[in-house]
Structure 1
Amino acid sequence: MSLQVSRNLTLAEHEITMHAMRARGAGGQNVNKVATAIHLRFDIHASSLPEGIREKLLALNDDRISREGVVVIRAQQYRTQQQNRDDARQRLKQLIAGVMQPVRPRKPTRPSRSAKRRRLEHKKQRGQRKALRGRVDP
């Protein structure tokens, strides 16, 4: 079963490795007995991703991406292993899809004349209010 990231990008199942382990934290007997947490590992360098997307992923400042270029996602939110497995795959998909989105250039804007006037009036009012807080001569 492969991971469909977008209409024209699919990751093969052998590129994603998943390891089940016991979840951390509170949860009673179930947490102590059953390996429901999932560690998903995805090697960016060894993947079939296009070069541009691979470079953008490696350039991300994300704690989930190691220095070696391996994405590590820990999923332990749900009580069942299958739900955590699906959650980890979904989060990997969101990470890659987020990099695929083109960055829209920022349009520089200026405050309007009336906005500048309102800001200056507000500054004057605050200054007058603070000036009234001074010492009072008897």
Structure 2
Amino acid sequence: MHFQQTRHSFFTCGRGTLEVTETVAEDVQRAGVLSGLAHVFLHHTSASLMLCENADPSVRRDLERYFGRLVQDGDPMFEHRVEGADDMAAHVRSVLTHNDLTIPIANGRLALGTWQGIYLWEHRYQGHERKVTVSVQGMR
């Protein structure tokens, strides 16, 4: 059994998605694992990770619009507003989604579906530096 862990920094441009599939795939290749798991963990509470359609960006835009309707910025029911109108909304969006993903590794590659990509989803208006840890374990 082999284990390798790598930490990355990504810079977002504000609310929206950033594809990180290639970075995770490179970590898997460097680890030399043929069969196992890649675990991706985001160290933040106002952004999230998701597996999503990677061919048509309108899917991610539609998700953003849906979440904008579901969790509205500046909703008067929110008490927590330390960093602005999007502060608590970003935390709610994060809780409703995921801060980690586990992807199988087969034949030395991420075993993603044909149209799947790994995305960091920024829930704040402003861009941020986001830390992600990728842990790869399995058989060489």
TM-score band, normalised by shorter chain: under 0.3
More strand by share: 2
Higher alpha-carbon Rg = 1
| TM-score, normalised relative to structure 2 | 0.27
TM-score, normalising length from structure 1?
Answer: 0.28
Bigger relative contact order, structure 1 or 2 (CA pairs below 8 A, ≥6 apart): 2
Q: Relative to total residues, which structure has the larger helix share, 1 or 2?
A: 1
